[in-house]
Structure 1
Amino acid sequence: MIRLPDLHNRLASHGYHTIALQAPEGLKRLLPRLAQDLQNLGYEVIISGDPCYGACDLDLNARDCADVLVHIGHTPVDETDRVIYEPWPVDGDISVINEAIPRLTGKKVGLVTTVQHIHLLPKVVELLSNAGIESVVAEPSSRTPCPGQVLGCSFHAARKAGADEILFLGTGLFHPIGIKLATGARVIACDPITGRIEEPDADRLLRVRFGLIQKAKEAHSYGIIVSSKTGQCRSDLSDHLCSLSKRAYKIMLREVTPDQLLNMGFPCYVNTACPRLAYDDQIRFSVPVLTPAEFEIVCGFRDFADYEVDEIS
């Protein structure tokens, strides 16, 4: 929950008067109430209504119409002026860790989570310590400013843990599968909301990706997607990918949707925007959407044995 007095102090200390508010889809309904509270304190407020998928997706147009953008739900992934970040902690039942402990084979485990559950890590460390297990919580990085934090585009904390087994505290299997591909470690996913414990099957994903790579080899041209979003633009990487094939063309997009890709008509795309587009959203697209490493395989510059998960560093 946002502590309004703390936010007010941060805004007032910089002399901000007009405030733009932005939140991801799951938190957008909080914005009208927050806007009212801020207006009661004398601020002018603009609410960003466009889709938002993370701190990599800042609404700079809204910010430029205001003195500052208040971005809710995430931590910064880069240095952008006039942005205040307000994380949104989500509590859960960490007793799920007790159910996972018997599955561990060693006395040392890497511990990672998403920003919503970062505040739960000290209690998890204590639970593991009481069971005689050492937790390795990696130091922050430039893209993940909290200890032990992972993103869908950055598994730095999991690799830095250097452990053979990794506990992931959070929901869903996208992050655990990415962690397994990035580290090669055994991953146990503990969901503090549902209480479920799962071990991700990365091999199934790799079989799907191999099929897409084989199909992509038949394409007569390739659209290299470059994002115009603040924390997703990898223009240098797209230049590298274009250099691998004379049939590759750079495409600048802000929102990557099935309709947009269908309208452009390429038989295959290569994604340098949010990595989740290729992995999570492939089912929505009618043609292969490859990662950069997969395109290197298509072009013969990498073997499938050297497959690596796509991350933004």
Structure 2
Amino acid sequence: MEIIFVPCYYTKEISGELLNELLKYVEGVGKTGITYVIQHEKNAHQLKKFLEENKKHAIICGKILGCDISNAKNHEAEVEKFIYVGSGKFHPYNLKARIGKDVLILDPISQTITKISDDEIKLMERKRYARIAKASLARTYGILVSLRTYQMNIEKAFQLKEKIESAGRKAFIFVGNDINDSNLLGFEVDAFVNTACPRINEDEFSKVIINADEVEYIL
């Protein structure tokens, strides 16, 4: 089945009050990098124009697509701080954890500004290490494969299965469109390995779930 992706843009502008509030967060910053999710591309350019009008050096680093933050990483060396234009914390958490620089969230929907703190990243990492530690005790793993476009990674699943079994443990591959706790109930495995979107493990699951790139830590 052919799938056509059509970008849809959020049409409401960032309020002048919020933009003025933002100025205190970038005071003294040499260069600010702006990144965004596709629906807020127009908001990102509105933000850049405002910062330049207020004598602030800002560049558009590009959009974040799924878990791909390469556009931001390409500008890592030249910017002092990132502003993420969008909602939620998954993308900005990922940005700060992998790059290490200050990240602000400018949410055009809620019209709020939030700073990702070092303590939040430390808490996220502690939760991650706890999941990995628990998964390392498992003897039988269920490897999850999503049928969704750009998330299906069956080759990776077979590679992980071979790696897990070569370590003397059991592994089974589960394929489906929707990965959620109710669809995984009843399977006799000790832990799950996710090959789809990494944010899946932020949901509540009855059994521990780790991402594919974390398997190396459990064997």
Query: How far has the Cα of 1:82 moved from its partner?
Result: 5.8
Query: How far has the Cα of 1:126 moved from its partner?
Result: 1.2
Match of 2:31 among 96, 108, 124: 108
Equivalent residues of 1:155, 1:182 under 8 A apart: no
Q: TM-score, normalised by structure 2?
A: 0.86
**Equivalent position SS for 2:67:** coil
Q: Distance in 2 between matches of 1:288 and 1:260?
A: 15
Query: How far has the Cα of 1:157 moved from its partner?
Result: 2.1
Matches within 5 A, 1:195-210: 195-200=111-116, 201-210=120-129
2:154 maps to: 235
Equivalent residues of 1:268, 1:287 under 8 A apart: yes
**Equivalent position SS for 1:189:** strand
Query: How far has the Cα of 1:227 moved from its partner?
Result: 1.2
1:275 maps to: 198
Query: How far has the Cα of 1:225 moved from its partner?
Result: 0.7
Q: Distance in 1 between matches of 2:3 and 2:182?
A: 34
Aligned residues: 208
Deviation string for 1:57-91 (max 9, x for gaps)? xxx4xxxxxxxxxxxxxxxxxxxx46252524342
1:289 lines up with 2:209 in the alignment: yes
Query: How far has the Cα of 1:254 moved from its partner?
Result: 1.4
Q: Distance in 1 between matches of 2:134 and 2:5?
A: 44
1:165 maps to: 81
Equivalent residues of 1:234, 1:273 under 8 A apart: yes
Deviation string for 1:125-166 (max 9, x for gaps)? 11111232222223xxxxxxxxx2113422222212223310
Equivalent residues of 1:170, 1:191 under 8 A apart: yes
Match of 1:186 among 97, 102, 127: 102
Deviation string for 1:266-310 (max 9, x for gaps)? 1110111122211x31xx2011110112222112xxxxxxxxxxx
Asked which structure has the greater CA Rg, the reply is 1
1:97 maps to: 19
Q: Distance in 2 between matches of 1:231 and 1:154?
A: 12
Q: Larger relative CO (CA 8 A, sep 6+): 1 or 2?
A: 2
1:217 maps to: 136
Q: TM-score, normalised by structure 1?
A: 0.62
Structure 1 residues 152 and 90, CA gap change in structure 2 (3 angstroms): farther
2:67 maps to: 153
Structure 1 residues 182 and 215, CA gap change in structure 2 (3 angstroms): same
**Equivalent position SS for 2:88:** coil
1:3 maps to: none
- Aligned CA-pair RMSD: 1.9
Structure 1 residues 84 and 238, CA gap change in structure 2 (3 angstroms): closer
Q: Distance in 2 between matches of 1:161 and 1:190?
A: 19
> What runs of 5+ residues in structure 2 fail to find an aligned partner?
none
Q: Kindly provide the amino acid, as one letter, of the partner of residue 298 in structure 1.
A: I
Deviation string for 1:159-196 (max 9, x for gaps)? 12223310011122122111112322210111222232
Q: Distance in 1 between matches of 2:9 and 2:45?
A: 17
**Equivalent position SS for 2:215:** helix
